[in-house]
Chains A and B, each alone.
Chain A
Amino acid sequence: MPYLGGDEVVRELRRALVNPHIQSDHLRYRNIIKRVIRVMSQGVDVSGLFSEMVKACATVDIVQKKLVYVFLCSYACVNPELSLLVINTLTKDCCDSNPMVRSLALRNMCNLRLPGLCEYVEQPLMVGLKDKVACVRRVAVLGWAKIHALRPNTEMDAAVVNELYGLLRDPDPVVMVNCLRALDEILQEEGGVAINKPVAHHLLNRLKECDVWGQSEVLAVLQRYQPRSEDELFNILSLLDPALHSHHAPIMAATLRLFLSLCSTMPAVCLSALERARASLLASTGSSSRELRYAALCHVQLLLRSEPGLMGDHYKRFFCGYAEPPYIKQSKIQVLVELVNDDNVLIILDELKGYCTDVNTETSQAAINALGFIGRSYGDRCLDILTGLLELKQEHITSAVIQTLRDLVWVSPQCGDAVCSALEGWEDQLQDTQGRGALLWLLGIYGDRSECFCLDLLRLRT
């Protein structure tokens, strides 16, 4: 297709849209609308076609309707007066016998995001809340949240809020969850939806019916509830127990968070919850999705701060694969440092030695720093590895090693002698300021131990 300039295309499309022959042929009309949307997706400004598109809205073809709504929602804010013309069609559609048409009309009425439309939208939305079909109710509930977002400073009618609270008991789980979301937004000033005992118990009982997104929403909202008695608390915990082993990492994480906050006064229960969730957490660290792996690793790091023994013997799960992105490798290295103990120190040090020569400089620096941390408890072995790394004569590695040695000496001065003997002769390698600064510091502390150092100092000055 020859490339036409933006204006040309718009003119051609307008001619086609007002052509009565095309308008009477449904298929051709729909194809023109498709072209408008395609052109719009490619970035051409087609806002000039607004009035023609408004007329195209009145059709029985639902695909065409959807396309017109896509157009209108994008450009309604530039043409508020013309948008009012659509209201008639939309209001009529809200009473259509087909529930798909009703839900489509309701949803798009709110998506137009025009404050001037609010008065026209409220009545269909109220009717929608009581609709027989669930998919219309779902849309109506979120519609009220959208209206609230358009007029944040206006109080929402109390009748609407009551109706939404009532709909928490709706048989359809998605409607229930949408109510939670809508109430949370509308009642934001008051701290979101109020979770009292009947509501909390109702939500817990219906947790199983919800899909993944619904469950995470419910679990997040339940954080606000405080059970009154220990019996109630344990009932809740046993109900939530299966979710700790959930298929989906976000559900497992949300349940764990709920457990930990409910049992904050009972450390034994917390610990057993953590242990039950551990398997799931470890599995997520091997997830095929890199982003979820990273999120799981952040969780593990957080948990290890309060429960250092949590991961036990599973340190091997945190060994880095060759092809993993740097941010994951660096997280794993940090976790490995926390997991070192007498039994596994040799194996972990061996692994870290491998990472020190990683292609990515940040990762190799992170590995060298990790060696420094471990060196505070296992000084000799780490020093051997670190001095071995100097032999490689690679600039970024040498610089990182010198800085690590400086930190090591600061914390455990007893390795001072070993560090000294290792240092002689490496000053030529250093070009960057950080490395040189570290070497200078070390010379300052240990300069009196060796004559060569003074000569080195002079060389550095020049």
Chain B
Amino acid sequence: MSASAVYVLDLKGKVLISKNYRGDVDMSEIEHFLSLLMDKEEEGTLSPILAHGGVRFMWIKHNNLYLVATSRKNASVSLVFSFLYKIIQVFSEYFKELEEESIRDNFVVIYELMDELMDFGYPQTTDSKILQEYITQEGHKLDTGAPRPPATVTNAVSWRSEGIKYRKNEVFLDIVESVNLLVSANGNVLCSEIVGSVKMRVFLSGMPELRLGLNDKVLFENTGRGKSKSVELEDVKFNQCVRLSRFEDDRTISFIPPDGEFELMSYRLNTHVKPLIWIESVIEKHSHSRIEYMIKAKSQFKRRSTANNVEFHIPVPMDADTPQFKTTVGSVKWIPENSQIVWSVKSFPGGKEYLMRAHFGLPSVEAEDKEGKPPISVKFEIPYFTTSGIQVRYLKIIEKSGYQALPWVRYITKNGDYQRRTQ
């Protein structure tokens, strides 16, 4: 795949840190990058790969940084981008917030990391848990000399070290389902799917073997429980620690977990249930004088559940002014920088309907440029609730010292890309 060099730039195109892996592309080529980017943006033909002479720039943007990889050869583009995103993930786990300041303040660790992440343009060790074992921010004590590479760098179970010990052995499972919904302007549901993620936080000693039992439809049918309530998972993707061959054979999810926090699996399924929060909007625009919004929100899930921190983001024209709001519940705020109003409802129980009216004045002189029509988007969180009906039936923990550990399971449904288009 081979990248030639990797650079981290600030928003003005100045190089903050760079590493030349192959030496076949001159390091000064990067000076052409930002002007190329600006030109393309002006023309409206921006793309992830820019070319100058024989050199290709593959770039991504993160906060106020650009990460750029250069190459002269026919590198595998999706791999280079995967690698750039991996760098961002590793750096974010080290520095929490990854932005210009974090690069400037931690350049020693970053040089060390860039040395280990890639050699001669080929990715080497990219697992952040492993890297954190021998590249640390506190620096090394001067007397003890250099650290030794952990056995995990050379082991088959490369994601977990030996000899981990906890006083209290616990496991936390969070099943987070994000709902993606796209409703057209005339009320048709164009797309409705659930993207689920099983996240775990593992605080267990030793090298435990875990087995997770879900109410998986295929598993139930294989074991003669086809009639029980089950969920049909599509597109299941597992963490590298899960034994895929066992899953293919008999749908058992068995694994040795990494220590700490990680995502065990993700799944996707299309759903035909009623959208959890249904919005209807009536927008009356009287050019040159005023625009009126009437938004009706209905919660279509069972009464004993409640959605928390619900926010409706409704776009308003850039030149609107003098807002007036009236609502049965919650509060409305106008955010002129984003050209939207946000209707916040702290607690939205199931089976209820709420109304919000808004009124804006419009200037008598209309703006020259045409504005786009962004959709209404919704944010919400419903704890102790899953749309798909997925259930953790058991979590078996087996370790050679035979300790008992407690699993804690939590379900939560939240918004993904939840949008309703307007007329």
Contact = CB atoms under 8 A, between A and B. Distances in A.
Partners in one complex: yes
Interface string B50-73: 000000001010000000000000
A149 B2 CA distance: 13
B132 interface: no
A306 B149 CA distance: 50
B55 to A, nearest CB: 17
B142 A61 contact: yes
A113 B145 CA distance: 28
Interface string B187-222: 000110000000000000000000000000000000
Interface in B253-307: 268
B25 to A, nearest CB: 13
Interface stretch (B90-98, B112-120, B392-400): B112-120
A143 to B, nearest CB: 9
B153 A134 contact: yes
B363 interface: no
Interface stretch (B160-168, B169-177, B240-248, B349-357): B240-248
A142 B122 contact: yes
A85 to B, nearest CB: 21
B15 interface: yes
B49 to A, nearest CB: 9
B237 A247 contact: yes
A169 interface: no
B184 interface: yes
B313 to A, nearest CB: 12
B82 A212 contact: yes
A62 B120 contact: no
Interface stretch (A228-236, A267-275, A290-298, A446-454): A290-298
B149 A100 contact: yes
Contacts of B17: 41
B191 A100 contact: no
Contacts of B182: 319, 321
A309 interface: no
A295 B23 CA distance: 27
A359 B238 CA distance: 39
Given A100-B134, A181-B122, A213-B1, A248 B108 contact: no
A322 B115 contact: no
A290 B48 contact: yes
B102 interface: no
Interface in B100-127: 107-108, 111-112, 115, 119-120, 122-127
A81 interface: no
A135 B305 CA distance: 53
B48 A291 contact: yes
A291 B191 contact: no
Contact of B154 (A60, A98, A172): A172
A107 B154 contact: no
Interface string A234-258: 0000000010011111100100000
A146 interface: yes
A388 interface: no
Interface string B1-45: 100000000000011110010111000000000000000000011
A99 interface: yes
A37 B111 contact: yes
23 contacts: A37-B108, A62-B140, A63-B139, A100-B146, A100-B147, A107-B119, A181-B120, A211-B126, A211-B127, A213-B1, A213-B123, A217-B1, A242-B248, A247-B237, A250-B79, A279-B234, A289-B60, A289-B85, A292-B82, A295-B77, A316-B190, A322-B373, A327-B48
Given A100-B147, A149-B22, A216-B1, 9 more contacts: A61-B142, A100-B134, A142-B122, A211-B158, A213-B83, A247-B238, A291-B77, A321-B417, A394-B370
A-B interface, 4 closest residue pairs, ranked by CB to CB distance from nearest: A62-B146, A134-B154, A213-B123, A359-B372
